[in-house]
Amino acid sequence: MEFASARVITDDIKRLVKFYEDVTGLAPTWYSADFAELATPGSTLAIGSTSTMAMFGTGAARSAENHSAISEFRLDDVDGEYRKLKTMISDVVQEPTTMPWANRSLLFRDPDGNLINFLHTGERGGHQEIRPLKDRLLASAGHESRVGRERFKWGVNAPNWRKSSILLKALFFWSISLYASVSICLSVQRNCVRTVSHTPRNPGSTP
């Protein structure tokens, strides 16, 4: 299965297609007076007139009533794009902001009120890097899991667990050495007592 496109339905297709053409810089492909597409390497945004919905049944989709879906476009410089588009965008929901999951995001609405997100995914070492959100979450989860296991195991902060390990090993070997020394001393003492108790008396000695 392959994701083909997302389609937006509008009462004014010419106005909406022109808006998306201006903000994305993509040239639309018109297949009819009521249907156009703007294609990117990853996916396609389709825009259709409300008249195209007649064959799907009355009320199947209504223009300008989207309150959940967001059309997202990934680019290299969100802030730079925002500076260029300020005069074209009349409804900015959120100016360029770095989200908790590391995306740099610009959120605004098209003329029909549909949400659009211009985003850049991830930064590292001062250089922007496109990195899937799934990979970042898995890496973060793996790191936290390892740190949690170390803290649980050693009862100390994770960076200090190696020091604790060395101290525990030293204590273990010291205990073995102490046990061996005590065992030797007790063994020698028992042998001395046994030797004295079995030494014969001198017959000429005074009782």
Reported confidence tier of residue 173, pLDDT bands at 50, 70, 90: confident
Mean pLDDT of 141-153: 52
Half-sphere exposure of 34 (CA within 13 A, CB side): 8
Q: In this model, does residue 195 exceed pLDDT 60?
A: yes
Percent of the chain with pLDDT over 90: 48
What pLDDT is recorded for position 193? Answer: 61
Q: In this model, does residue 196 exceed pLDDT 80?
A: no
Q: Which of 30, 31, 21, 34 is closest to 73 using CA atoms?
A: 21
Q: In this model, does residue 174 exceed pLDDT 90?
A: no
Q: Which of 66, 57, 49 is closest to 9 using CA atoms?
A: 49
Q: In this model, does residue 186 exceed pLDDT 50?
A: yes
Reported confidence tier of residue 56, pLDDT bands at 50, 70, 90: confident
Tokens of 199: 């030494």
Least confident of 90-94, 124-128, 175-179: 124-128
Mean pLDDT of 30-42: 95
Q: In this model, does residue 34 exceed pLDDT 90?
A: yes
Q: Pick the more confident residue, 130 or 125.
A: 130
Half-sphere exposure of 181 (CA within 13 A, CB side): 6
What's the CA gap between 189 and 187, in Å, rounded? Answer: 5
Q: Which of 20, 31, 36 is closest to 85 using CA atoms?
A: 20
Indicate the CATH number of 5-131 among 3.10.180.10, 3.50.50.60, 3.40.50.300, 3.40.50.11540: 3.10.180.10
What pLDDT is recorded for position 126? Answer: 37
Least confident of 13-17, 34-38, 128-132: 128-132
Q: What is the mean pLDDT of the chain?
A: 79
b/e map 81-103, b = 16+ CB within 10 Å: bbeebeeebeeeeeebeeeeebb
Q: In this model, does residue 74 exceed pLDDT 90?
A: yes
Q: In this model, does residue 113 exceed pLDDT 50?
A: yes
Domain residue ranges in the chain: 5-131, 148-195
Mean pLDDT of 40-61: 88
What pLDDT is recorded for position 166? Answer: 76
Mean pLDDT of 95-99: 95
